[in-house]
Amino acid sequence: MEASITPYYVYIIQCEGGSFYTGYTKNLGCRITFHMNGKGARYTRMHKAQKLVYVAEFPSISEAMRNEKRIKRLSHRQKLELTRNQTQTK
Protein backbone atom coordinates (compact mmCIF):
# COMPACT_ATOMS: atom_id res chain seq x y z
CA MET A 1 0.00 0.00 0.00
CA GLU A 2 1.47 3.35 -1.04
CA ALA A 3 1.55 6.23 1.39
CA SER A 4 -0.64 9.11 0.40
CA ILE A 5 1.35 12.24 -0.36
CA THR A 6 -0.34 15.40 0.84
CA PRO A 7 0.76 18.35 -1.27
CA TYR A 8 1.71 21.67 0.25
CA TYR A 9 0.90 24.97 -1.40
CA VAL A 10 2.62 28.33 -1.55
CA TYR A 11 0.19 31.13 -2.29
CA ILE A 12 0.11 34.87 -2.77
CA ILE A 13 -2.90 36.97 -1.83
CA GLN A 14 -3.32 40.50 -3.09
CA CYS A 15 -4.45 42.81 -0.31
CA GLU A 16 -5.99 46.29 -0.19
CA GLY A 17 -3.58 48.90 -1.47
CA GLY A 18 -1.97 46.41 -3.85
CA SER A 19 0.31 44.76 -1.29
CA PHE A 20 0.92 41.01 -1.26
CA TYR A 21 0.80 38.38 1.45
CA THR A 22 2.70 35.13 0.85
CA GLY A 23 2.16 31.95 2.84
CA TYR A 24 2.17 28.17 2.69
CA THR A 25 -0.37 25.55 3.77
CA LYS A 26 -1.51 22.01 3.16
CA ASN A 27 -5.20 22.98 3.14
CA LEU A 28 -5.42 25.78 0.61
CA GLY A 29 -9.19 26.25 0.58
CA CYS A 30 -9.47 26.52 4.34
CA ARG A 31 -6.49 28.86 4.66
CA ILE A 32 -7.69 31.23 1.94
CA THR A 33 -11.15 31.33 3.54
CA PHE A 34 -9.53 32.34 6.85
CA HIS A 35 -7.63 35.17 5.15
CA MET A 36 -10.69 36.40 3.25
CA ASN A 37 -12.73 36.45 6.46
CA GLY A 38 -10.09 38.41 8.38
CA LYS A 39 -9.12 35.45 10.54
CA GLY A 40 -5.81 34.49 8.91
CA ALA A 41 -2.41 36.03 9.52
CA ARG A 42 -2.08 39.35 11.32
CA TYR A 43 -1.04 41.01 8.05
CA THR A 44 -4.27 40.04 6.28
CA ARG A 45 -6.30 41.11 9.29
CA MET A 46 -4.74 44.57 9.03
CA HIS A 47 -4.62 44.71 5.19
CA LYS A 48 -7.86 43.19 3.94
CA ALA A 49 -7.28 40.25 1.61
CA GLN A 50 -8.84 40.82 -1.80
CA LYS A 51 -7.99 37.86 -4.03
CA LEU A 52 -5.78 34.85 -4.48
CA VAL A 53 -3.31 35.66 -7.28
CA TYR A 54 -0.76 32.82 -7.19
CA VAL A 55 -0.61 29.15 -6.17
CA ALA A 56 2.19 26.61 -6.54
CA GLU A 57 2.06 22.99 -5.33
CA PHE A 58 4.98 21.15 -3.70
CA PRO A 59 5.37 17.53 -2.54
CA SER A 60 6.87 18.39 0.86
CA ILE A 61 6.63 21.02 3.55
CA SER A 62 10.35 21.76 3.27
CA GLU A 63 10.07 22.57 -0.44
CA ALA A 64 7.01 24.75 0.18
CA MET A 65 8.74 26.64 3.00
CA ARG A 66 11.88 27.13 0.89
CA ASN A 67 9.81 28.57 -1.96
CA GLU A 68 7.75 30.76 0.36
CA LYS A 69 10.98 32.24 1.71
CA ARG A 70 12.29 32.79 -1.84
CA ILE A 71 9.09 34.60 -2.88
CA LYS A 72 9.08 36.77 0.24
CA ARG A 73 12.55 38.04 -0.73
CA LEU A 74 11.29 39.21 -4.14
CA SER A 75 10.55 42.86 -4.76
CA HIS A 76 6.96 43.99 -5.26
CA ARG A 77 7.62 44.30 -9.00
CA GLN A 78 9.00 40.75 -9.16
CA LYS A 79 5.94 39.43 -7.31
CA LEU A 80 3.69 41.24 -9.78
CA GLU A 81 5.55 39.56 -12.64
CA LEU A 82 5.29 36.16 -10.94
CA THR A 83 1.53 36.52 -10.52
CA ARG A 84 1.09 37.76 -14.10
CA ASN A 85 3.07 34.82 -15.47
CA GLN A 86 0.86 32.34 -13.63
CA THR A 87 -2.31 34.04 -14.86
CA GLN A 88 -1.08 33.86 -18.45
CA THR A 89 -0.30 30.13 -18.22
CA LYS A 90 -3.77 29.14 -16.93
Q: What is the reported pTM?
A: 0.88
Residue 24 lies in a domain: yes
- CB within 8 A of 80, min separation 6: which ones? none
Residue 45 lies in a domain: yes
Using the predicted structure, report yes or no on whether residue 49 has a pLDDT greater than 70: yes
Residue 2 lies in a domain: no
The pLDDT tens digits of the residues spanning 53-90 come to 999 999 999 999 999 999 999 999 999 999 988 765 55
Task: Check the CA dihedral 10-57-54-63 and report its sign.
Answer: positive
Distances (CA, A) of 12 to 2, 5, 22, 25: 32, 23, 4, 11
What is the domain extent for residue 85? Answer: 8-89
Residue 1 lies in a domain: no
How many domains does one find in the chain? Answer: 1
CATH number of the domain within which 82 lies = 3.40.1440.10
